[in-house]
Structure 1
Amino acid sequence: MGFSRRILLAGVLAGAGLVSACAQSGPVDAAGRALEPLSIVTGSGEHKFLVEIADDDAERARGLMYRPPLEADRGMLFQFPAATEQSFWMKNTPSSLDIIYIDPQGRIVSIASHATPYSETPLPSNGAANGVLELRAGRADEIGAKPGDQVRHSFFRP
């Protein structure tokens, strides 16, 4: 490879590294997973979280399987392209979760509280949802979340 090609290749690789570094400029967890801000507005005020995003089939299928319990201010937001009846289960998930189903405007449709670890019993949304938020078990009750409350994230359009 000639000198000018090596310089060009080095420049391209350096530029790619810069783009990669810029893409990861937001908060990350201890494992290096990107986190995004999300808040839930309830009767007791606005409650802020940092969430991982599961927006493709592989991420949605894996979810929080095999993971340690979530911190109080963390969660995972599952994004679906269309609002339909959703149903989640806890297969291979070692800690209990609150599963919050959300409509396209960011309103909570329903909450499955304290989902049983490792259970394969489906937990339906009981209404059309295109977002599902998983939080540590009991957090929904702690913040007073209920159907109709507002979830704020760029994915939802109030």
Structure 2
Amino acid sequence: MAQEQSENKDFSHLDTQHNPSMVDVSGKTITKRTATARSIIALTPEIVAQFVNGDIQTKKGAVFQTAIIAGTMGAKKTSDLIPLCHPLGLDSCKFNIELQGNEVIIDCTCSLTAKTGVEMEALTGATIAALTVYDMCKAFSHDLVIKETKLLSKTGGKSDYKA
């Protein structure tokens, strides 16, 4: 069961007039912050059959290796994609990608020392990696499904979270 992050249930990205607003983090304390997000993509047996030596091999290249690069690039561009996110200089962005049965499990962990968290960067990294797997495998089949993307954990700041 997910832990609640805060008793305050107000939307953080609205000002007092209910207009969109970037959260003011100027008064927050600088702490080490981490977040891990997961995306799961279901493959067809035809695509799973292409799994050799720890990766899916396609004419476009090694799928997992390319997904790691794309996911890292996506995590670094989060504030360009999501309007009210703070631009962050990530200290680390790491991926673990595994094939389990017919599913690719993509975990993205981002960390930094700052006044705001990295949940959106981890979620963006995992999502872009999953989209890259889809893009690289769609020549085999369009019956791919990105089943879910979710936050697994976060540390630092006011509260920690673990799914």
Q: Is TM more than 0.5 here? A: no
Higher helix proportion (structure 1 or 2): 2
Higher-RCO chain (CA-CA 8 Å, sequence separation at least 6): 2
TM-score, length basis structure 1: 0.25
Higher strand residue share = 1
**Structure 2-normalised TM-score?**
0.25
